[in-house]
A and B are shown apart, each in its own frame.
Chain A
Amino acid sequence: MSGLHDHSGSESEDEDFNPQPEIDEEENNDASSDRPDAARRRVQEDNYDDEDDGQAVAPAKKHTNEDDEDDAEAEDEPDADGVADDDDDDDEDDDEDEVVGRSRKRRKRDARMQFIDVEAEVDDEDEEEIEEDDEVPDETHPDDLLEPGGADLDDRRHRELDRKREAQANMDAEQQAALFNQKYGHRNAVRMESSHAPQTLTLPTVNDPAVWGVKVKPTKEREVIFAITKRIEERANSRDPLRIYSAFERGGTMTGYIYVEADSKQDLMEALEDLSNVYVRSNAPINVDVKERPDLLRKQKSEPLKPGQWVRMKRPPLYAGDLAKVYEVEGNGLDVSVQLVPRLDYGLNEDANAVPDANKRKRGGFAAAGPRPARRLFNEADAKKKHMKYLQQVSSSLATTKHYIYRNDTYINGLLIKDVKISHLMTKNVDPKMDETADFGSVAADGTTTLDLNSLAATLRAATSGSSYVPGDNVEVYEGEQKGVVGTTVSVTGDIVTLKVTEGELRGRTIDAPVKTLRKLFRDGDHVKVIGGSKYVDEVGLVVRIKDDRVTLLTDSNQQEITVFSKDLKRAADSGTVGDDSNFDLYDLVQLDAATVACVIKVDRETLRVLDQTGSVRTVLPSQIANKLEKRKNAVATDRDGSEIHHDDTVKEHGGESRQGRVLYIHRNFLFVQNREQAENYGIFVVRSTNVTTMAAKGGRVQAAGPDLSKMNPSMLQPGANGSSMPPPRSMGRDKLIGKTVTVRKGTYKGLLGIVKDTNGDDARIELHTKNKTITVKKDVLAVKDPITGASMDFGGKFTNRSRPGGGGNATPSGRDWSGARTPAWGNSGQPRAPAWA
């Protein structure tokens, strides 16, 4: 026995702590029964070779003594023992520390020996000792080498330790726990809160209290929670504490409700009874199902802001709604500084807002009372004008950036740098407009290439919410696994677009793609219309250049190149329209200022082209127009011959280019005439009324020429006195016959009295006095009657005789309006005839 080694060299560290006690002789008793176990353990030990597995080792070592006899069997048995690990464990638990290094080593050797069929191996001890040196290094232990020497002493010690360990092993769990606690407990003093199971393990079960949704007044949710807190505290130590476990609110997403944890509805009602802003009597609380409860407490990480990102200001009120760019982000993720286009009036309006604003300022901070100044980059010249003392220039190291401090605010490159809290900003749905971003970045000549545009595009893309994809659009997938696929949209459902692939291997297939990965595809030469996004909305044009998702097009209206995002375009069938809603329509007469009127000849997006009364074309803004002028219906001008000119008359220019057209407007002595066939100025031109002659004026141009003259000329009135009975045809603006009382001398209506209503060349329309009828007769059958004489008028004095019979009896002055140019000569002219009648 002495030769037996006490330590198993293989148990390195464990050995130091747990020196393997020598096998007791007593344990030899177990030898026979434990033989198979021993073998098993041996095998197992080999497996645990390099591990400090005292347990595995222990039982094996226990049986060292047996090995002398057992080796033979051991060799045979190991093969069969691989299976029995479970049993080993059980045994090991009992026999933890009864390791004998010697035996282990020996078993090692023996295990190896299993492959060698050795008949008789009995004198192990000697062999062991001899073979010690051949042991695998990790098994060798310096002690092993010493063993033979101090074996006895070690044995005793080890035996003691062995006993101790056995005793320890036989302690029950509680005592062990206490031991461990003593050893390690102090570390966990504070740890009790975080049991830290993953959240999935804390899902609610039916054993948990129920959660009830209670209706409350919207916006008062936090108040209610605090009121409940107060009530919990008040009743905490009293006769009946509140029987709810917790209550929470998620105002914002779940506004109008609080959620209370209680076992039963009664507990809930009793707890919330008579709380203000809580509507528990009228609206029954809703029991929230177990599966839905975690959703109530869901929280999502909001995106952290990054420099260069676009946001919109919510506060301060002066800049509310304005686009801003994140400049810097503070460490805590709460404060950021942003770049803003300043809204400054550099002290121009100061005095006006002296006293009345005292009240407003007090409450609202430093809000600009009334309308706020326009957005403009910071201009130091303006600041110097009035506020020299507030201005201060900070020379930066670069000396190129314009860095000023004006009234305690910092302005770099014209942009205001403001420190705000994230809660004052809107980060979603920012939708920056092109003109808003123009001030922030340098826009190159073609309006496209800047970094800012890239970030802008990114923001826009991120914010796209189903940007108008119409069936029939050509789209391209540019992100994701289907990148490069080109197709035509079939339908759009929410954020998913169904498209039919037109090119490539997937041709003909129908695939779905989320809106975010799509981009509208256009080809050079497509006729497209801008449908949104930029200030060019409603422009129609031809695509000339495509780059990524930016498309340059040539507008139909003024052949101008504009660049927009492809998401803002759609295929357009219609031709160029500028459907802008300015107050002024085409061909309106507008007043530019007190002295000038003009006619609108073209309505542009933001401007108007007008032709003013001097004939010059100007481009004006709608704001420069004072007001629109309405047509005055009775506006009358006098043309070259003195005839009247009314609206819609056709006139012809006498001098100049002999332009002809229809009168649109009459303003003082200017006529705005339109000739649709003319291309210049869209067909409108201006003339002085005295330079035109009316052509198709109402009443006809060729008038029965000079009845006035001839009638006024007594000498001509004599029948036959004139050689030329036909006075020279004179153009009259308005037939003098109109309005005259006449009698019909020939024809069906002979003898009837009437008033000339209208004339048309040779014809006249007569409204009969007797009948409700207007007849058309030739002018030469008429005889004009004046109330006094019934004398003939038109066409010279020819009718004198003929009108006699009809003239005498019909001198009824019926109060009709007589021709205006009645001179006393009329009456006189009639006189000589009177006797003839009588």
Chain B
Amino acid sequence: MASNFVPNNQHRNLRACMVCSVVQTHARFMTSGCPNCEPFLELAGSADAIAECTSQVFDGLITVAETKKSWVARWQRLEGYAPGVYAVKVEGTLPEEVITAVENAGIKYVPRDGSANDETN
């Protein structure tokens, strides 16, 4: 399970983290948690936490090889995150306490569901 590859039959179990938008199978969240947010989300082993902080409703898959150089990663605010598969949009709302936990950890929480649309195209 070190690979980010997900075979087709597992596509049903994919979930996206609402904080960093990484996409993994539910099983992988259970075993290794979120590669970017584990310190403050603590998803590994907790089905409840996974249900609260990850969502099955997401749109647009991105696979990022180099989060530093890719403009896509920069645009999606994925700089510094681990390479892997991410979602463009994740729908769902984080519970208040999780948001506070995120902010306390120093991350500026930006909702990944498109509500923070400050593009001025």
Give the B-binding residues of A (Cβ under 8 A): 187-196, 198-200, 202, 204, 208-209, 211, 221-223, 225-230, 232-233, 242, 244-252, 261, 293-295, 297-302, 331-334, 421-423
Contact = CB atoms under 8 A, between A and B. Distances in A.
5 contacts: A193-B81, A209-B70, A225-B62, A245-B65, A294-B119
Contacts of B105: 190
Contacts of B77: 193-194, 196
A242 B65 contact: yes
Contact of A228 (B59, B63, B118): B63
A422 B114 CA distance: 17
Interface in B1-29: 3-8, 11
A640 to B, nearest CB: 81
B85 interface: yes
A294 B11 contact: no
Per DSSP, are chain B's interface residues mostly helix, strand or loop, or mixed?
Answer: loop
Interface residues of B, number: 57
A248 B61 contact: yes
Contact of A190 (B73, B107, B115): B107
B16 to A, nearest CB: 12
Contacts of A188: 106
Contacts, number: 159
Given A230-B5, A246-B64, 17 more contacts: A196-B77, A196-B108, A221-B61, A223-B8, A225-B62, A245-B71, A246-B63, A248-B60, A248-B88, A251-B60, A297-B88, A299-B114, A301-B114, A301-B115, A332-B92, A332-B93, A423-B57
B118 A199 contact: yes
B55 A248 contact: no
Contacts of B63: 225-226, 228-229, 232, 246-248
Nearest to A293: B71
B107 to A, nearest CB: 6
Contacts of A226: 4-7, 61, 63, 85
B66 interface: yes
Contact of B75 (A187, A202, A227, A244): A202
A244 to B, nearest CB: 6
A301 B76 CA distance: 15
A252 B91 CA distance: 16
A186 to B, nearest CB: 10
Nearest to B51: A332
A189 B40 CA distance: 13
Interface in B39-61: 39, 51-52, 55-57, 59-61
A334 B5 contact: no
Contacts of A300: 114, 117
B117 A301 contact: yes
A202 B74 contact: yes
A51 to B, nearest CB: 30
B30 interface: no
B65 A232 contact: yes
B65 A299 contact: no
Nearest to B86: A248
Contact of B80 (A192, A222, A228, A301): A192
Contacts of A199: 75, 118-119
Contact of A334 (B6, B56, B78): B56
B61 A246 contact: no
A229 B85 CA distance: 7
A414 B88 CA distance: 42
The 4 closest A-B pairs by CB, nearest first: A193-B80, A248-B62, A299-B114, A245-B70
A671 B110 CA distance: 83
Contacts of B5: 226-227, 229-230, 233
Contacts of A230: 3-5
Contacts of A223: 8
B62 A247 contact: yes
A204 B76 CA distance: 12
Given A225-B61, A261-B71, A194 B66 contact: no
Contact of A229 (B4, B57, B59): B4
Contacts of B114: 299-302
B19 to A, nearest CB: 11
Contacts of A252: 59
A211 B6 CA distance: 24
Given A190-B39, A245-B65, A200 B59 contact: no
Given A298-B119, A334-B57, A204 B4 contact: no
Contacts of B73: 245-246
B100 to A, nearest CB: 15
A194 B106 CA distance: 9
A191 B106 contact: yes
B106 A190 contact: yes
A72 B105 CA distance: 59
B120 A200 contact: yes
A242 B110 CA distance: 31
A244 B65 contact: yes
A187 B70 CA distance: 27
B55 A332 contact: yes
Contacts of B119: 199-200, 294, 298
A252 B69 CA distance: 28
A421 B12 CA distance: 14
A834 to B, nearest CB: 106
B59 A301 contact: no
A233 B51 CA distance: 28
Contacts of B57: 334, 421-423
Contacts of A204: 71, 75
A297 B89 CA distance: 9
Nearest to A204: B71
A229 B84 contact: yes
Interface string B87-115: 01101110100000000011110100111
A245 to B, nearest CB: 4
A204 B71 CA distance: 6
B88 A250 contact: yes
Nearest to B14: A222
Contacts of A244: 65
Contact of A245 (B69, B85, B91, B95): B69
Contacts of B51: 332
Nearest to B76: A297
B121 A299 contact: no
A204 B91 CA distance: 26
